[in-house]
Amino acid sequence: MRLYLSVDMEGLAGVAHPAQTFFGREGAQDRTDYDRCRGLMAEETNAAVDAAFEAGVTDVVINDSHWQMRNLRAEDLDPRARLIIGDKPYSMTQGVGSEGDGQGYAAAAFIGYHAGAGHPSGIIGHTYAGVAVLEVRVNGVPHNEAGLNALRLGQFGVPVALVTGDDALADEIELLLPWAERVVVKRAQAAYVAESDSPEAARRAIAEGMGRALQRLDEMPLYRLPELRMEVDLRLPIMADYCALIPTVERIGPRTVAFEPPDPDAMFATFISIVRMAQVPG
């Protein structure tokens, strides 16, 4: 049985402020805190990996899904797992579709994820591009990164079994992916304020959650919708100017673009193109 792990950083225990999650820009010049969080990221990942093997998984592939997607140090990870790292065209879902090895996955787990853009208290809440994207809706329903990723995974037969992060994320997952096991490692008091479990307690909770999720795998459906329409609210009108140049994308408001893809794979590819195009101006 093969498991896909997509691992982010903002949803880790002990993380509450954006400056902890990157370095090299204003507000995060010192990489000490970022490097510490890289360690926390590896530890939560390893907790999930070890629990998966204990539950009978035979192969684990980890996708480093944070920021520039080269955060996890290979030498810090459980040697039984393999790592997808680098600048990825399919971002947080790299390796599950035609760009992968074709072997497929029995299930996926999202570790260290966070609430979507616009959540009033979700810790460091955003949807793919905090500087550009204000909200993403699929068929009129707001979707966070976990929901968008689950749609693409669903097309390739991969159900999302486990999602970990803060309580704001857990509430969103309950609406989008109610079957998924949810592990809360911190509680959001404000956008940059967390009441966090200790890293040790978080690792223990993630391991237990993985065990429960894999025991219920036959209850985990694929996330699929009968039709698709995506609307993306952008921060600035000029971002919509650029994004509306993408074929199939229509501008429907001063800062909003929309499109109707034939399937989740096309939806994801177009959305990622919008995200990257929106960050070009300015």
Catalytic residue ranges:
126
Report d(CA 229, CA 131) in Å as an integer: 23
Cα angle, residue 21 at apex, residues 94 and 24 outer, rounded to 5°: 100
Report d(CA 125, CA 106) in Å as an integer: 29
Return the H-helix or E-strand segment holding 26.
Answer: none
SS3 43: helix
Phi, psi dihedral angles at 245 (to 5 degrees): -75, -15
Alpha carbon of 278 to those of 132, 231, 243, 250, 256: distances in Å?
Answer: 6, 14, 6, 14, 11
Pairing of strands 133-138, 141-142: antiparallel
103 CB-contact burial (10 Å; exposed 0-12 / middle 13-18 / buried 19+): exposed
